[in-house]
Amino acid sequence: MPVEPEMASEPVGMVIGTEDATPLSFWVGVSPDAYLQLDDAVIVDTEVPGRGIVRIAGLVQEVRARHEGATFDTDVFLIDRGVLPVDTAVAAQVVATRFEPEVFVPPMPGLPALRARGKDRDEALYFDQMTRRVVGGLSRDGEPMFLDLDFLDGTRGAHVNISGVSGVATKTTYAMFLLYALFHSPVLGGYRGNTKAIVFNVKGEDLMWLDTPNARLTQAQREDYERLDLPVGPFESVGLWAPPRGGAGGQAIPHVESRSNGVTAYYWTVREFVREKYLRFLFAEADDERSQIADLVARVESFLDRECEDDPDHEATVLHGGYPVRSFDELCDAIRANVEDDHSPWRGRLSDATVAAFVRRLDSGRFRLDQNHLIWGREAEDPRRHRIDWEANQVTVVDIHNLHDRAKRFVTGVVIKRLFEHKERMGRREPLAFLVLDELNRYAPREGWSPIKEVLLDVAERGRSLGMILIGAEQTASEVERRVIANSAFRVVGRLDTAEAQRSEYGFLPAVTRSRASILKPGSMILQQPHIPIPVQIRFPFPSWATRADEAAPGASTDPFGAFEGD
């Protein structure tokens, strides 16, 4: 099928001979009536004796302009007055990305260079080899950029990692755009309707409006969605969960400020805490791997589960020694009494110092969980209504921004553990479950051990086979466990702190790209994916869903429990 004229590749210059041309990099002199900008795709056809025509495709990594014939810096003033006749030369450095066929030769000086369009561009960026592709944003010239779903859904790879300065890099917004592109396109096929996402809302209440159209979307921003072949609107199936303010008579009122409906309060019961062994998540801060506190926590969890019986009079509580444990406070008192008893098997042969450290952390965790009303006992009524249910909606937002750091760790650890165990029980990859977690350095730090880190490492290393995909974000990748980063098939970078950009974790960025990362605007990201050998700058559309109350369309429904229209 012939290429449409408007999509045909266009001549932009010639390979120059004043700079070395190698199979990996060459320079193109740009014609006076043309231009090349960073990240443009360029193709050059060169004839190789005995092998025929070899097409070399690459991306523009640097562009320069200079006066030819000038010697001194002050010559520019003479040139401006017409005293010194010189020519202005523009040249672009092209880094090769693909050879067809694979004969690694340099292009010869004088060969025409073309800006790749249409089919040629798809070949230069390996889009033609992506049998299942999802839009990842727009290129600098407004063309769609694609991600290979095989490297996202676990078929050949999995996981996305996003780094950048807080408040500027728009990390969470880009993560949500990826989910929007997946859920509002046919790329997931018959599994689209059953694919789920759990998103932790860690800052403000921005994600509590995903189900509402953005009233501030301009026409130009709507056109971006048209270029990507995506509908304009909110997420179609959203469940919103927030911690309770407290309440009497079993009435758990969600702790949110910006909206009053469509949000459900979540909590766990004393019985769940015992049976599911959630005590470890009260001790979720990073610890020395040689610490014996983790051993004591495991012993206490085991004895709790073994010695506590279900309370026949209430589904939220347990019996210990024949006496009802009616609240989380009473449960913590029972734990403390046993570990402080020198003769109790609960403490084993651990030292008094270890027991004292355990008790201090237990008391701190007790205070924070009670302060945020996260564990309920006799006051709970129908606790199943307040257990986070990610099966009810396609996107489940778990708000933790109002919680103390220790309570945040508890909620995050419990939810991730439950989701991972759910996927293990399913025993198959599809339907997929996406986990969006910001501040990854808090939960999977480079140094030390914690139960949350252990679960996240399981997700990073085994989640691919289970269809559990981590979209993690952090300000500083240098503070995140290396194995979590290493298992991410896609690396995305927003604006970076200049010093952070020099860390080895960003070694995949060429020097010129690291410099660009320090000046990126919100909405622009640098994307590294398996198919394309070098990172490419992209931008993504302004959210078509509201990100705060004043963006919500007037009269828009805030009922998050509408049905999702699957395939």
Question: Which DSSP string corresponds to 188-224?
Answer: GGGGGGG-EEEEEE-STTGGGGTTSBBTT--HHHHHH
**Per-residue pLDDT reduced to its tens digit, 82-120:** 888 888 999 999 999 999 999 999 999 999 999 999 999
The answer to whether 565 and 226 have CB atoms below 8 angstroms apart is no
pLDDT of residue 3: 42
Structure token pair of residue 100: 């067809």
Let me know if residue 392 belongs to a domain: yes
pLDDT of residue 560: 39
| 372 and 393 assigned to the same domain | no
53 versus 533: the higher-pLDDT residue is 53
Domain range enclosing 442 = 133-243+388-538
| 367 and 460 assigned to the same domain | no
**Per-residue pLDDT reduced to its tens digit, 176-214:** 999 999 999 999 998 999 999 999 999 888 899 999 999
CA distances from 346 to 166, 281, 309, 326, 552 (A): 44, 18, 17, 21, 53
CA distances from 342 to 201, 348, 543 (A): 43, 8, 59
pLDDT of residue 540: 96
- CA-wise closest residue to 91 among 68, 117, 116, 121: 68
Domain at 203, CATH number = 3.40.50.300
Let me know if residue 89 belongs to a domain: yes
Let me know if residue 263 belongs to a domain: no
Please give the Cα distance from 205 to 202 (Å, whole number). 8
The answer to whether 15 and 21 have CB atoms below 8 angstroms apart is yes
475 has a pLDDT exceeding 60: yes
| 189 and 233 assigned to the same domain | yes
Let me know if residue 544 belongs to a domain: no
Please give the Cα distance from 490 to 411 (Å, whole number). 27
Q: What is the pTM of this model?
A: 0.90
Let me know if residue 280 belongs to a domain: yes
| 202 and 228 assigned to the same domain | yes
Q: What mean pLDDT value characterizes the chain?
A: 90
The answer to whether 134 and 147 have CB atoms below 8 angstroms apart is yes
Let me know if residue 559 belongs to a domain: no
Please give the Cα distance from 391 to 60 (Å, whole number). 45
Q: Which amino acid is at 64?
A: R
Let me know if residue 426 belongs to a domain: yes
H/E run at residue 154:
none
pLDDT of residue 384: 87
**Last residue within a domain, chosen from 93, 120, 147:** 120
Name the burial class of residue 339, with classes exposed (0-12), middle (13-18) and buried (19+) by CB atoms within 10 angstroms of its CB.
buried
Let me know if residue 561 belongs to a domain: no
| 64 and 182 assigned to the same domain | no
Total number of domains constituting the chain:
3
315 has a pLDDT exceeding 50: yes
407 versus 380: the higher-pLDDT residue is 407
- CA-wise closest residue to 357 among 298, 283, 300: 283
